[in-house]
């Protein structure tokens, strides 16, 4: 795949290296030091940092403002944008705003339903869906025009990503859905957290058979369990999550004081196994409010040092 | 049909507590089918209000009931032309359309809603009504197996389920079917899963409420 944007993440994966990303959730306040501290923990161990967009429908500092802070620190942000809160005018406007700070990555999502958050009585917008947002970002970049058709002066240059959940239902369309996202213009995928490796590998195999891994970089989603309780919660309470019983048992059989370490061990083993899977182009490590562990995971999984790319 | 649900009677009492003469106005159409605003419900509400006034010691209060064939047509609403003026208030238990048309027609009489108008839907079983249509003005059912993602997906997604679809159910409520699971099942049943692979164009929402109040004007049927 040829490089189409100035995105460092794109260049690294295009050069054949495994890409590594992590994420930074903006604070529920306006203190920029919180952002700088979190992002600082990821310096040197990832290629780019996702910035979540009011995740779980809880109000936080905006993704765009947080991306700017991270960019000004000399790090590479990935602007997450959900279609829940903004219509096509606001979405395109924020893409331009991000482009004006030379933010070169976008991740297009529909967003958690607002009923999960702290404003369940709010409206949702969904003027576009996540695929249509990806299509919009590509049109803005490649054709240099807005959805309305007018020309953009200095179009955005963004590497366009989306999420995929290899475990969600209905299973019949998990791969067709990936194909559709790629047809919409998605160039990289970050997957849902992977605990069922067999099922994930089957999904990648089917994607490979359709030639999809030649058209799109697939980054495997990794989230360490902090405790056996978290494993059970993810299995039972988080929609679309597939945590096999043996993984939950492994956490539960570990003494409480060693569970966090065991969670990291599982991550490292997962990365080591998936590194060998043809079609896996990188890893997206979502250490939720546990950013300080990312460097350890990346190091133990043999993903350091990160490649230097111009 | 338009599905409505009864308002709490306390809310209705709050509207009319200072009135002496009240007309409860039912509708014989959708709200009769969904058992929220038909003749039977008009009778029950009128009795409840009478009881309220009696308990309050308002001896000269009068609550009458009447049910029209429809409240969304001039000709039926005209049936109360002769009597409307004698009331201090009308409580319409038709849908929001009926309430408004009654208010438009009887300009100087307060008209209060007696139901909450909910959605366009079906009777799944007695006592259970569910949504099917949001009247977006540009029907896409031909491409989605006859199941509407606008009205039945909590995020009105056009290109497939979100990551929260689990065991055929929506992430927001385990009792709610995932619209996209239904669509995929149906496309498989009619052997048209190929339709899923086509990227849906960005929707023109100008025919939805986004475009402002809508109208349908048909010269061919105008007199």
Contact between A8 and A48 (Cβ < 8 Å) = yes
| A30-54 burial: b if 16+ Cβ within 10 Å, else e | eeeebbbebbebbeebbbbbbbbbb
Is the pLDDT at B41 greater than 80, yes or no?
A: yes
Is the pLDDT at A251 greater than 90, yes or no?
A: yes
Is the pLDDT at A263 greater than 90, yes or no?
A: yes
B59 and B159 share a domain?
A: no
Confidence of residue A169 (pLDDT cuts 50, 70, 90): confident
| B167-185 burial: b if 16+ Cβ within 10 Å, else e | ebbbbbeeeebbbbbbbbb
Cα atoms found within 13 Å of the Cα of residue B116, Cβ hemisphere only: 7
Q: Is residue B129 part of a domain?
A: no
Q: Is residue A32 part of a domain?
A: yes
Q: Is residue B165 part of a domain?
A: yes
Distances in whole angstroms, Cα of residue B178 to Cα of each of A140, A153, B140, B145, B168:
32, 41, 18, 14, 5
The domain that contains A212 carries what CATH number? 3.20.20.220
- Determine, for residues A147 and B202 on separate chains, whether the beta-carbon distance falls below 8 Å: yes
Write out pLDDT tens, residues A119-165: 999 999 999 999 999 999 999 999 999 999 999 999 999 999 999 99
Q: In whole numbers, what is the pLDDT of chain A averaged over residues? A: 96
Residue from the list A112, A113, A180 with its beta carbon closest to the beta carbon of B160 = A180
Write out pLDDT tens, residues A35-73: 999 999 999 999 999 999 999 999 999 999 999 999 999
Confidence of residue A168 (pLDDT cuts 50, 70, 90): confident
B178 close to A (CB below 8 A): yes
- Determine, for residues A168 and B163 on separate chains, whether the beta-carbon distance falls below 8 Å: yes
- Determine, for residues A110 and B181 on separate chains, whether the beta-carbon distance falls below 8 Å: no
B115 and B139 share a domain?
A: no
Is the pLDDT at A237 greater than 90, yes or no?
A: no
Q: Is residue B216 part of a domain?
A: no
Is the pLDDT at B50 greater than 80, yes or no?
A: yes
Percent of chain A at pLDDT exceeding 70: 100
Q: Is residue A307 part of a domain?
A: no
Write out pLDDT tens, residues B167-198: 899 999 999 999 999 999 999 999 999 999 99
First-to-final CA distance of chain B:
27
Write out pLDDT tens, residues B115-128: 999 999 999 999 99
Choose among B211, B200, B72: nearest CA to B135. Answer: B211
3-state secondary structure of B146: coil
CA distance B50 to chain A (A): 35
Is the pLDDT at B43 greater than 90, yes or no?
A: yes
Pull the structure tokens for residue A293.
């562990």
Confidence of residue B63 (pLDDT cuts 50, 70, 90): very high
Q: What was the ipTM of the complex prediction?
A: 0.93
B172 close to A (CB below 8 A): yes
Confidence of residue B223 (pLDDT cuts 50, 70, 90): confident
Q: How many domains does chain A have?
A: 1
Tell the residue number behind the tokens 């849902």, with chain if given.
A192
* Distance (Å, whole) CA A220 – CA A297: 14
DSSP string, B25-88: EEESSHHHHTTSSSHHHHHHHHHHHHHHHHHTT-TT-EEEEEEES-SSSHHHHGGGTTTGGG-S
How many beta carbons lie within 10 A of that of residue A63, not counting itself? 27
Percent of chain B at pLDDT exceeding 90: 96
Please state the φ and ψ torsions of residue A184, each to the nearest 5 degrees: -75, -15
Is the pLDDT at B47 greater than 90, yes or no?
A: yes
B174 close to A (CB below 8 A): no
Query: What is the extent of the structural domain holding A293?
Result: 8-300
* Distance (Å, whole) CA B73 – CA A199: 59
CA distance B149 to chain A (A): 12
Residue from the list A115, A170, A177 with its beta carbon closest to the beta carbon of B172 = A115
Q: How many domains does chain B have?
A: 2
Q: Is residue A94 part of a domain?
A: yes
3-state secondary structure of B221: helix
- Determine, for residues A180 and B167 on separate chains, whether the beta-carbon distance falls below 8 Å: no
pLDDT at site A309: 86
Query: What is the extent of the structural domain holding B192?
Result: 134-211
pLDDT at site B162: 92
pLDDT at site A196: 97
Pull the structure tokens for residue A44.
């040197």
Contact between A240 and A167 (Cβ < 8 Å) = yes
Q: Is residue A295 part of a domain?
A: yes
B6 and B113 share a domain?
A: yes
Q: Is residue B201 part of a domain?
A: yes
- Determine, for residues A170 and B167 on separate chains, whether the beta-carbon distance falls below 8 Å: no
């Amino acid at each position: 795949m040829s490089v189409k944007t100035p995105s460092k993440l794109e260049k690294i994966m295009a050069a054949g290296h495994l890409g590594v990303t992590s994420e930074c959730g903006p604070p529920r306040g306006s203190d920029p030091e919180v952002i700088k501290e979190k992002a600082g923990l990821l310096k040197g161990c990832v290629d780019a940092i996702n910035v979540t967009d009011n995740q779980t429908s809880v109000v936080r500092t905006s993704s765009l403002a947080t991306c700017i802070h991270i960019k000004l620190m000399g790090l590479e942000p990935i602007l997450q944008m959900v279609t829940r809160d903004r219509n096509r005018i606001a979405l395109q406007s924020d893409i331009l705003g991000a482009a004006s700070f030379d933010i070169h990555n976008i991740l297009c999502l529909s967003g958690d339903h607002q009923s999960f958050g702290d404003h369940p009585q709010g409206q949702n917008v969904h003027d576009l869906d996540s695929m249509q947002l990806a299509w919009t970002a590509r049109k803005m970049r490649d054709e240099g025009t807005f959805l309305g058709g007018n020309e953009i002066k200095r179009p955005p240059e963004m590497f366009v990503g989306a999420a995929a959940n290899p475990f969600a239902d209905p299973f019949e369309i998990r791969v067709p859905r990936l194909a559709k996202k790629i047809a919409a213009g998605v160039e990289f995928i970050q997957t849902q957290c992977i605990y069922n490796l067999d099922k994930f590998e089957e999904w990648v195999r089917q994607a490979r058979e359709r030639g999809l891994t030649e058209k799109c970089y697939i980054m495997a989603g990794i989230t360490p369990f902090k405790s056996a309780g978290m494993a059970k919660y993810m299995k039972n309470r988080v929609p679309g999550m597939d945590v096999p019983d043996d993984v939950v048992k492994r956490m539960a059989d570990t003494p409480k004081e060693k569970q966090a370490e065991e969670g990291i061990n599982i991550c490292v083993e997962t990365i080591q196994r998936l590194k060998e899977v043809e079609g896996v182009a990188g890893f997206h490590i979502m250490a939720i409010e546990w950013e300080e562990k990312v460097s350890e995971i990346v190091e133990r999984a043999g993903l350091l040092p990160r490649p230097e790319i111009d | 049909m338009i599905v409505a649900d009864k308002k709490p009677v306390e809310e209705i009492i709050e509207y009319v507590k200072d009135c002496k003469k009240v007309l409860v106005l039912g509708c014989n159409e959708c709200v009769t089918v969904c058992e929220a605003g038909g003749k039977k419900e008009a009778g029950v509400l009128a009795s409840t209000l009478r009881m309220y006034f009696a308990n309050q010691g308002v001896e000269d209060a009068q609550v009458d009931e009447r049910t029209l064939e429809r409240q969304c047509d001039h000709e039926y609403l005209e049936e109360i032309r002769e009597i409307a003026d004698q009331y201090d208030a009308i409580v319409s238990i038709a849908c929001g359309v009926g309430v408004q048309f009654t208010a438009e027609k009887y300009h100087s009489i307060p008209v209060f809603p007696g139901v909450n108008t909910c959605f366009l839907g079906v009777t799944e079983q007695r006592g259970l009504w569910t949504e099917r249509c949001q009247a977006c003005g540009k029907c896409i059912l031909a491409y989605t197996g006859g199941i509407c993602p606008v009205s039945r997906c909590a995020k009105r997604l056009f290109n497939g389920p979100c990551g929260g679809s689990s065991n055929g159910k929506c992430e927001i409520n385990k009792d709610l079917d995932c619209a996209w699971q239904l669509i995929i099942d149906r496309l498989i049943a009619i052997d048209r899963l190929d339709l899923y692979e086509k990227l849906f164009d960005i929707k023109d929402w100008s025919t939805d409420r986004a475009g402002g109040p809508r109208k349908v004007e048909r010269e061919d049927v105008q007199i």
